[in-house]
Amino acid sequence: MFYKKSDEGYNEALEGIRRKTLVYGEKTLMCEFRLDKGKTLPMHSHPHEQSGYLVSGRINMIVEDEKFAVGPGEGWCIKGNVEHGAETLEDSVIVEVFSPVREDYLP
């Protein structure tokens, strides 16, 4: 499966937070998120392991009780069933990979 860059196909996950599935296979799924400055991704958890990379912008990533300042070029990995959320300090673009595949994110 290949993905060609396009500004179409984003779903509004929450106000000011858009998600687009880029590619997926049998065991992983890759998404791009676009987050507007000042938006918060509420604390939540899911059974999927989640690895992320901040392409641009600045965010605070909250994992359980710890807050991490994240800048462009930095990444993270969150085990499944661990509570996490984010605060968007600047307009930001994130690429994340989920394993196993998040069926709720399939196009």
**pLDDT tens digits, one per residue of 47-81:** 999 999 999 999 999 999 999 999 999 999 999 99
CATH superfamily of 13-102: Jelly Rolls (2.60.120.10)
Q: How confident is the model at residue 1 (pLDDT cuts 50, 70, 90)?
A: confident
Q: Which residues face 41 on adjacent strands?
A: 86
Per-residue model confidence (pLDDT) at position 7? 92
Per-residue model confidence (pLDDT) at position 48? 98
Q: How many CA atoms lie within 13 A of 12 on its CB side?
A: 5
Each residue's pLDDT tens digit, 4-41: 999 999 999 999 999 999 999 999 999 999 999 999 99
How many CB atoms neighbour CB 68 within 10 A? Answer: 13
Mean pLDDT for 72-95 is: 98
- Cα dihedral sign for 13, 64, 60, 37? positive
Contact 92, 56 (CB under 8 A): yes
The Cα-based distances of 94 to 26, 55 in angstroms read: 22, 6
Contact 51, 29 (CB under 8 A): no
Contact 50, 27 (CB under 8 A): no
